Amino acid sequence: MLLQRNNRLGSVRPPKRCRSDMDNTSTSDIVIINGNSHPDLANMVAERMGLKNGGCSVFHKSNRETIVEISDSVRGKDIYIIQTGTKDANNNIMELLIMAYACKTSSARSIVGVIPYLPYSKQCKMRKRGCIVSKLLAKMMCTSGLTHIITMDLHQKEIQGFFDIPVDNLRASPFLLQYIQESIPDYRNSVIVARNPGVAKKANSYAERLRLGLAVIHGEQKEAESDEVDGRYSPPPTSSSRTRTTSVSVGVPEHPVKVKPPLTIVGDVNGRIAIMVDDLIDDVMSFVAAAEMLKENGACKIYVLATHGLLSSDAPRLLEESVIDEIVVTNTIPHEIQKLQCHKIKTIDISILIAEAIRRIHNKESMSYLFRNVTLED
């Protein structure tokens, strides 16, 4: 009797939760907001996650000061700020910093900056008497209240070390590799081309993934960062120069002048489809010059693939008039106006990758799946 009574009055077990319910993303405490840099990408990410873009308005006063107004409550919530870098980089940065600080002072639980293209990422080395601007930018972002950074294809992967917060550097190469395999006819007859030796590592990674040949353009028009004058090779003082510490020659040998060889292609491109790869397309003069040389050496078609398509100044016109057949970039940076000026520009959508990264970070899942089978290309 006692056993039966305990069974009748005992606590009722809760129903078992199915696996699918446990896997669903809890979106009640996610808020996605964005600045003025790329609202279309922010809306696409929010739509893929089944969310509504948060109420945040960013505008400028007559004196060009930035004003941020967040209409929805962010207290105790996880905030994801989608703001990329464009040609208006300084305003993009200030909007991001003010939005992050506004969420911080409004008691948000975490503030994640989703920055598909990080501005000033090319200024990551000391030049002459300048400074490492990307280091300064990282410090500003950490101070503003950001607790995590999601970005894509940094110019140098070592930039992650400038931040005092976690940085996830996503890769767009799977999307570009898929485009090559599905959208370039007879891609097996292609050769991956590095327009200068600085891009050879990235190009080699693509060549190995696709099992294609590799060609490198080397010579006097090379624009590798290692060739820029950084002020460290100034001549030593001569014997006639006097200082407070010495009156004789220091004896340091003079640094030899760097002489570049004539522009040449290392590799065979005759009768092949040439595919140039890079992380950023901004000033296209070097791409146009490389394409002309590839054409002179017998390349039948020329493609240019890159993650970020900044396409500043008169880049669309130069590309339209060039021998390049197609330029493929992702939508990390808006370039709708440039596409109207150049019909050769094609766009790959990477919003699904950003949405999956946000979902995994929010659910505290491993990010390794997004990097699986993706080689280091930087």
H or E element that contains 267: none
State residue 243's pLDDT score.
52
Range of the domain at 133: 30-170
Question: Same domain, yes or no, for 158 and 205?
Answer: no
| 125 and 205 fall within a common domain | no
Name the domain count of the chain: 2
Q: Is 122 among the domain residues? A: yes
Specify whether 64 is located in the same domain as 179. no
In a domain, residue 334? The reply is: yes
Shared domain for 181 and 305, answered yes or no, is: yes
**Mean pLDDT (the chain, rounded):** 86
Q: Please check whether residues 151 and 212 belong to one and the same domain.
A: no
Q: Which residue has the tokens 């296209």?
A: 284
Mean pLDDT of all residues in 130-152? 96
Contact 270, 294 (CB under 8 A): no
What's the pLDDT at 160? Answer: 96
Residue 18 reports pLDDT greater than 80: no
Looking up tokens 């040389």 gives 293
204 and 116 assigned to the same domain: no
Instruction: Specify whether 149 is located in the same domain as 285.
Output: no
Distance CA 217, CA 261 (A): 11
Alpha-carbon torsion, ordered 87, 123, 314, 38, to 10 deg: -30
Same domain, 141 and 207: no
Structure tokens, 25: 């993303």
**CA distances in angstroms from 299 to 189, 192, 209, 271, listed in the order given:** 11, 12, 21, 5
Q: Are 350 and 331 in contact (CB under 8 A)?
A: yes
Do 188 and 65 lie in one domain? The reply is no
- Asked whether the whole model's pTM tops 0.85, one would answer no
CB atoms within 10 A of CB 233: 11
pLDDT mean over 92-111: 97
Please report which helix (H) or strand (E) contains residue 115, including its range: strand 110-115
CATH of the domain at 49: 3.40.50.2020
User: Is pLDDT above 90 for 6?
Assistant: no
What's the pLDDT score for residue 368?
86
Cross-strand partners of 302: 274
Based on the domain organization, do 162 and 185 belong to the same domain?
no
Would 4 be classed as within a structural domain? Answer: no
Interacting residues of 367 by C-beta distance below 8 A, sequence separation 6+: 168, 357, 360, 361
Return the top range by mean pLDDT from 10-14, 51-55, 139-143, 250-254: 139-143
Please tell me the distance from the alpha carbon of residue 299 to that of residue 285, in angstroms, as a whole number. Answer: 19
Contact 286, 258 (CB under 8 A): no
Do 164 and 73 fall within a single domain?
A: yes
Nearest to residue 144, comparing CAs of 187, 182, 115? 115
162 secondary structure, DSSP code: G
Q: Judge whether 54 lies within some domain.
A: yes
For residues 108 and 206, membership in a common domain is answered with no
